[in-house]
Structure 1
Amino acid sequence: METISQPIPAAPENLGDGESFATLLTRWARVLGDETAVTYLDHRAAADGRAVTLTWRALDERVDAVAARLAGIAAPGERAAVLAGQSADYVVAFLGALRAGLVAVPLFAPGLPGHEGRLAGALADCTPRVVLTTAADFDAVREFTAGPEVVAVDAVPETEPREWPRPDPDAVAYLQYTSGSTRSPAGVVLTHRNVLANARQACAAYGAESRTTSTVSWLPLFHDMGLILGIGAPMAGGMASVLLDPLAFLERPARWLQALSASPGAISAAPNFAYAYSASRVSESEKDFLELSRVVSLINGSEPVLPATIAKFQDAFGGCGLRPEAHRSSYGLAEATVFVSVTGSGKEPRQVTFDRDRLAAGLAVPAATGTTLVSCGRPAGQRVRIADPVTGNAVEPGEVGEIRVSGPNVGRGYWGRPDASAAVFGLPPLDPETGEGWLATGDLGVLFDGELFVTGRLKDLVVVDGRNHYPQDIEQTVEEHPAVRPHSAAAFAIEVPDGEAAVVVLERAKDFEAEVGDAVADLRAAVSAGHGLRLHDVVFLAPGEVPRTSSGKISRARCRASYADGSLAERRLA
């Protein structure tokens, strides 16, 4: 069995049992006092962003007040859902729930287009005793939840500080809900031990240091990466956190780059699409005001990392001082808190081109042409192995299989779902020293020269006529056509009477004025020539119409579901 592991050294201060993000906040409030802990750049209040700041001391006092209010409402272990917009108040609400001994459930305020079903499903699943929000969203949240007591954290009065019991490290800290696009939302159960371990792994892997580094993030705080980057790692490492709203980034990506410029020693993260989006949308005049030489790490993760995207982003911002070695390719998932592996510091992520046909057949063989994959590096203080997804047995080196993970950051299962938990978490063989099993990630990958290369998702694999096709390869091919809007394609398989067939859904480029019929024929020919695959259907939609996740990524699962139920048909362009 080939297993890779990379021990990450402990943080300078050893975090013993009984710690949580909330107890660490108190420690930093004593050490850092009136230094800034959280900055929220509110672009709704001002076009250039009105900075709302909280010092470590002020944050600790506000968290204390919210915790005291919650202690009078709910008992330890009951759930406290956070339904608020991106803000410093979200940080207060989340940490207040942890300090009161409640199980936090990071969610979002009602009104997020296309996601109210997911919100309702998560609330029904976790049955919160109390819901935390802000005064601005109070009425909408109370109407939507209709049951639990609702508390506006920005209206809670100050209170006298008090001593709070230290948590059991194996008590549940929060539930991280995964996407509910193809099934009802599932809450990953994460303990204080899990989340502190992963926050420390992230801090060590990305070069975080108290006072000299800060995190900058527009990722939603209810997402796994957004929460650890925006709250968890800063609490573990004593770093300042700078937050933007996701919509502020999507409206004008230069805002993210400007925040990086204004934050010496910045560490940030985004999915692959965001880097390509920024490179194409930030103007030359905006670049004149960017200074990116002090960026420590730019993490690219949560979807396949494309070599062309790294090159495009570096070409766009290298003149602003961005160092190529700041790029860090990463792999992770909510079931492991978030971070699993990362490329090393001081050099660009490694890229390897593999023979496309042999990779589709399950074997990674370097070739002059084919599919180029970007390494996701080595595990951050945990172990990774590649296994047969059916038998669980380790595959041979160089073979593609399911990525499996073992470490202290792996969650304890799904909330209220013992059967699903047993099928995913803690699978044998158990480690003889730690007793830990393996997490079945559902992701496909290969270990090559000691590094992890992610090839795709098991559930996204397109299998037609007995041949495997990775959807991102098909999407890259179709997006080369001028009729297709960049970063808008979704390739997936559907059931047909004689097996599976391939469908591509995409958006028409804004400046493409010709009929799409000719483009459809071109795309069919390109996919046939490049992949030996006949497309069952090509669906052109208007710009902005392809289903996306709440952070702006294309959702293949939602595309497949919308295609199957016919809801895409009425929006199809002729």
Structure 2
Amino acid sequence: MTTVLTDPVDDPCATGPVPLTAGPATWAAERGTSTAFTFSDHTVSPPRRSSLTWDELARDTDDLARRLRTVAEPGERCAIMLPTGLEFVVGMLAAVRAGLVAVPLFGPDNRGHAERVRAVLEDCTPALALATPAGVEAVEATGAVGRVLALGGTGDELPAPSGAELVDPDPDDVAYLQYTSGSTRTPAGVVVTHANVLANCAQLVDAVGVHRDTNRSVTWLPLFHDMGLVAGVLLPVCTGVSADLMDPAAFVQRPARWLDLLAGAPGTFSAAPNFAFDHCVRRVRDVDLERLDLSGVTALVNGSEPVRPATIERFAERFGPVGFRREAHRPSYGLAEATVFVATGPAGREPVTVAFDAERLRSGEAVPATDDDGARALVSCGTPVGQSVVVVDPVSRRPRPDGAVGELWCRGPNVAAAYHGGGERSRETFEATLADDARGGLPAGPWMRTGDLGVVHDGALFVTGRLKDTIIVDGRNHYPQDLEATAESADPEVRQGLVAAFGVDDRDEGEQVVVLAVRRRRDEDGSAARTVRRAVSSEHGVPVREVRFVPPHELPRTSSGKIARAACRRAYLADAGALR
């Protein structure tokens, strides 16, 4: 029987959130002197906290929007090239309020991503960019921006406010372009409308239980990333909850800073990729635990990359004694093409992990294992909220039955309609249709192809991997994250989250596996590489061509920090020295 996970959303306007452009003024009228956003600056000692009330946010947003209208017309693109902070929040909201299409990006000096910045700017051709005073020259040097304005200076360099009326956008007007992180392909700009934003915020409210009187958002994620932007800026503005922001570098240096913000008041919620939870377990000291009380944390959404069962257990074991509740850990699934959020487990329930027969799973069947040997544990991402997900055979376009692995296709009011510029890639992703003779009562389309593989088991969604990352050896599917986990466990010196496994085609031997990893210490005699090679080969039954240890900065990653396996593979095959 074909299984489709569906949860129709009500009218988003009736479920609580208000439109993005109306948010600042709405909450200023209701709670003007209350704090809207706070930024903790850890580049100074002691850390400096600066805030904006809802009154100040509405005033600053409206003022900057009128200034932007002096130099740009509605519908033109405005690149937001500012670091995490209050200037980013105001710049992003002002661009949207002015009727421009915001393009959230990292600054031009972001190490290792200069080429990506240039490629994105050339793709979206912004008429305007907002940068720090120190970053203006670098943005201008790209030659891809019409005009650059500096925020965070004296303000004297900004144009005078326009007298033009700021018109409320239609729901189908474009709010911003969200450029994908490019873990398996060249980044593309997802066209996110105001209706998409409102719908996804309504879905998150339903899933997490957000209320402006009882909850507070906390994030260290970069605000140019879909999860950081929605959880840290858009959801607070649409719902009236306050938000605490922190720079990603501050979290990486001392993850206890994130937990300090979470423990600061009851009702906090946050979102982070799986590696962040492991980072906390490894780096938060016993002395840090003495001041923490995490009993008031409502939800920690774990998503953006595969959620590992061991991570959930380690985090609960480490932080349970200071009040963290297992049911607050919310494994989830989402992607930029769906604004950000798709599915999660029900509130108030602990994460669900199922051990599947690994051999059957490689053959495309999800069958619970009868013993631990040969089992692969997967964490459930629950069910979609306010949208539909169906598991599909990507070749025949026929829905797969419960327990069969296939590509995840999504449909809902939060799902975007295209990539910027359209083209074949956009049509392939956003205009998928189910085979007429197999769809039953499902709509033919359009469906959005996620490129992710998953399965429905006992009414819940389990994500198994990326379609384009799958390594096929002797007709069996191997998911790279499984091979990477084995490599990490085989050698304690291999750094967690800094491993890439991919397949290469040897014309004599067929498909073989290559493992690139970052190791804390040099492998002087090659014994560590041999240990990892034996572990991966024996546990997964795959031929391993090479295990190579590389410095951290030479392992290609996306702008959001995820391992870019496709880029690793390309560099390895080019053998140009980038990974030697």
- Please give the range of the TM-score, normalised by the shorter of the 2 chains: over 0.9
In the alignment, is residue 125 of structure 1 matched against residue 134 of structure 2?
no
Mapped contact 1:65–1:158 kept (Cα < 8 A)? no
Q: Distance in 2 between matches of 1:389 and 1:351?
A: 26
Mapped contact 1:211–1:240 kept (Cα < 8 A)? no
Deviations 1:132-170 (A, max 9, x none): 123342333233346411112332589699963111111
- The equivalent residue for 1:44 is 43
In the alignment, is residue 457 of structure 1 matched against residue 457 of structure 2?
no
Q: Distance in 1 between matches of 2:386 and 2:286?
A: 41
Mapped contact 1:343–1:377 kept (Cα < 8 A)? yes
Letter in 1 for 2:202: R
Question: 1:4 offset after TM fit, Å?
Answer: 0.9
In the alignment, is residue 469 of structure 1 matched against residue 478 of structure 2?
yes
Q: Distance in 2 between matches of 1:422 and 1:557?
A: 22
In the alignment, is residue 413 of structure 1 matched against residue 418 of structure 2?
yes
- The equivalent residue for 1:371 is 376
The 5 Å alignment of 1:56-67 reads: 56-67=54-65
Question: 1:380 offset after TM fit, Å?
Answer: 1.1
Q: How many equivalent residue pairs?
A: 566
- The equivalent residue for 1:507 is 518
Percent identity, aligned pairs only, is 47
Mapped contact 1:122–1:185 kept (Cα < 8 A)? yes
- The equivalent residue for 2:337 is 335
Question: 1:552 offset after TM fit, Å?
Answer: 2.9
Between stretches 487-496 and 303-312, larger displacement belongs to: 487-496
- The equivalent residue for 1:547 is 556
- The equivalent residue for 2:253 is 251
2:492 to 459, 464, 482: 482
2:402 to 397, 400, 403: 397
The 5 Å alignment of 1:314-393 reads: 314-367=316-369, 368-369=371-372, 370-393=375-398
Between stretches 515-524 and 264-273, larger displacement belongs to: 515-524
Letter in 2 for 1:176: Q
Between stretches 5-14 and 268-277, larger displacement belongs to: 5-14
Deviations 1:395-426 (A, max 9, x none): 12100000011100010111113211211113
Question: 1:44 offset after TM fit, Å?
Answer: 1.4
- The equivalent residue for 1:34 is 33
In the alignment, is residue 517 of structure 1 matched against residue 516 of structure 2?
no
3-state DSSP of counterpart to 1:296: strand
Question: 1:325 offset after TM fit, Å?
Answer: 0.7
- Residues 538 and 166 from structure 1, CA distance in 2 versus in 1: closer, same or farther, beyond 3 angstroms? same
Q: Distance in 2 between matches of 1:36 and 1:345?
A: 27
Question: 1:177 offset after TM fit, Å?
Answer: 0.5
Between stretches 416-425 and 548-557, larger displacement belongs to: 548-557
Q: Distance in 1 between matches of 2:484 and 2:312?
A: 17
- The equivalent residue for 2:201 is 199
Q: Distance in 2 between matches of 1:509 and 1:31?
A: 53
1:492 to 502, 514, 518: 502
Between stretches 184-193 and 119-128, larger displacement belongs to: 184-193
1:185 to 184, 187, 193: 187
Q: Distance in 2 between matches of 1:457 and 1:184?
A: 15
- The equivalent residue for 1:93 is 91
Question: 1:185 offset after TM fit, Å?
Answer: 2.4
Q: Distance in 1 between matches of 2:573 and 2:380?
A: 34
Between stretches 483-492 and 395-404, larger displacement belongs to: 483-492
Mapped contact 2:183–2:565 kept (Cα < 8 A)? no
Mapped contact 2:363–2:476 kept (Cα < 8 A)? yes
Question: 1:30 offset after TM fit, Å?
Answer: 0.9
Letter in 2 for 1:315: E
- The equivalent residue for 1:557 is 566
Q: Distance in 2 between matches of 1:312 and 1:548?
A: 25
Question: 1:542 offset after TM fit, Å?
Answer: 3.5
Question: 1:22 offset after TM fit, Å?
Answer: 1.8
Between stretches 85-94 and 135-144, larger displacement belongs to: 135-144
3-state DSSP of counterpart to 1:485: strand
Mapped contact 2:121–2:144 kept (Cα < 8 A)? no
Q: Distance in 2 between matches of 1:258 and 1:426?
A: 44
In structure 1, runs of 5+ residues without a counterpart are: none
Between stretches 493-502 and 291-300, larger displacement belongs to: 493-502
- Residues 403 and 516 from structure 1, CA distance in 2 versus in 1: closer, same or farther, beyond 3 angstroms? farther
Question: 1:180 offset after TM fit, Å?
Answer: 4.0
Deviations 1:74-109 (A, max 9, x none): 111111111111111001111101101111111111
3-state DSSP of counterpart to 1:547: coil
The 5 Å alignment of 1:211-222 reads: 211-222=213-224
- The equivalent residue for 2:3 is 2
In structure 2, runs of 5+ residues without a counterpart are: none
The 5 Å alignment of 1:231-242 reads: 231-242=233-244
- The equivalent residue for 1:142 is 140
In the alignment, is residue 78 of structure 1 matched against residue 88 of structure 2?
no
3-state DSSP of counterpart to 2:395: coil
Deviations 1:176-233 (A, max 9, x none): 1012466442101111111110111112211110131011011111111111001111
Between stretches 183-192 and 151-160, larger displacement belongs to: 151-160
Question: 1:571 offset after TM fit, Å?
Answer: 5.5
Deviations 1:274-305 (A, max 9, x none): 10011101111111111111000000001110
Deviations 1:406-451 (A, max 9, x none): 1000101111132112111132249989885211100000001110
- Residues 99 and 275 from structure 1, CA distance in 2 versus in 1: closer, same or farther, beyond 3 angstroms? same
Question: 1:383 offset after TM fit, Å?
Answer: 0.5
In the alignment, is residue 536 of structure 1 matched against residue 545 of structure 2?
yes
Q: Distance in 1 between matches of 2:207 and 2:530?
A: 47
Q: Distance in 1 between matches of 2:165 and 2:427?
A: 38
Q: Distance in 2 between matches of 1:184 and 1:319?
A: 44
Letter in 2 for 1:5: T
Deviations 1:456-476 (A, max 9, x none): 000110112222111111111
Q: Distance in 1 between matches of 2:482 and 2:54?
A: 46
